[in-house]
Structure 1
Amino acid sequence: MTAAHVFAVAVALGAAGMTVASAGEPFRRLFGRDLVKRLTGMELTDDVHWAYGFEKGGRLRTVSMGTLRTGFWRVRGDELCLDGGPDGARCFEVWAAGDGIELRRDDGSLPDAGTLRKPQARR
């Protein structure tokens, strides 16, 4: 299979909502209290362009293209809502496979996909 074929299959799976983590673990949606437990005190990042820091008490620290912002995060029902991030106030479904996390919108746009880990020091 060529690289073009692999890319086409990955795009098709992603569009169908059947994304699979690199280790073969399927993404599963996180709900309510699981979101709070999993995210509090952690950082979600794509390791290049952005990072969301989910601090205790609902404080949100974001770094997007080198710009630091602060805001708030909360769980509303089964969605993660961010206020003060680079896109303003938005809510997402959260899907996880291992430490891979996707923040999915209901508008059909591509998810914010990153790795959940302990916060990293930033300059």
Structure 2
Amino acid sequence: MTGAAIRATRGATPVCLALSFGLVLMGSVEAGEPFRRLTGAQITASLSGKELTDEVHWAYVFGKAGRLTTVSLGTRGTGFWRVRNDELCLDGGPDGHRCFQVWSSGQRVELRREGGLPDEGILQTPQARR
């Protein structure tokens, strides 16, 4: 190997290490904490007074006394929510009555039910909408 080739190889090593370290950090941030299934009491404590939304198409606002406000593609609706058998049950809107398992990872929440894709969203303070 020539002197120039050796210097080029030595210069590349720190760059490769820095890139590798960056990729490892990105992977660990992306992974976050794992999803865990919530119990009935945890569902009530987590959702009461909060909004679950995909930040684009829909939002569920879980009000007091089981009141539910929905927004789907700009259309508002109302209904009721309750917890039964460690599942979140929603009544009202175009989808009628349906129940979900609630899985959580930090502010990210998935509403899961057998035979369907989960509704994925974030849990936040209710936002003002027109």
TM-score band by shorter chain is 0.7 to 0.9
- Counterpart in 2 of 1:61? 69
What is the alpha-carbon distance in structure 2 between the residues aligned to residue 58 and residue 43 of structure 1?
A: 13
Higher relative helix content: 2
Output one character per residue of 1:17-41: Cα deviation in whole Å (capped at 9) or x when no partner.
xxxx945210000011111000000
- Counterpart in 1 of 2:121? 114
Corresponding letter in the other structure for 1:92: F
Corresponding letter in the other structure for 1:54: F
Q: Which has the larger radius of gyration?
A: 2
Corresponding letter in the other structure for 1:93: Q
Does the CA-based 8 Å contact 1:64-1:86 persist in structure 2?
Answer: no
Higher relative strand content: 1
* Secondary structure at the counterpart of residue 88 of structure 1: coil
What is the alpha-carbon distance in structure 1 between the residues aligned to residue 52 and residue 30 of structure 2?
A: 17
Output one character per residue of 1:97-123: Cα deviation in whole Å (capped at 9) or x when no partner.
00000000112x110000000000001
What is the alpha-carbon distance in structure 1 between the residues aligned to residue 77 and residue 118 of structure 2?
A: 21
State percent identity of aligned pairs: 67
The two structures, once aligned, show a CA RMSD in angstroms of 1.3
Q: Compute the TM-score of the two structures, normalised by the length of structure 1.
A: 0.79
What is the alpha-carbon distance in structure 1 between the residues aligned to residue 101 and residue 112 of structure 2?
A: 5
- Residue 88 in structure 1 maps to residue 96 in structure 2: yes
What is the alpha-carbon distance in structure 2 between the residues aligned to residue 106 and residue 77 of structure 1?
A: 15
What is the alpha-carbon distance in structure 2 between the residues aligned to residue 98 and residue 86 of structure 1?
A: 29
Unaligned runs of 5+ in 2: 1-28
Distance 1:119 1:87, change over 3 A: same
Unaligned runs of 5+ in 1: 1-20
What is the alpha-carbon distance in structure 1 between the residues aligned to residue 93 and residue 39 of structure 2?
A: 21
Q: Compute the TM-score of the two structures, normalised by the length of structure 2.
A: 0.75
Aligned residues: 102
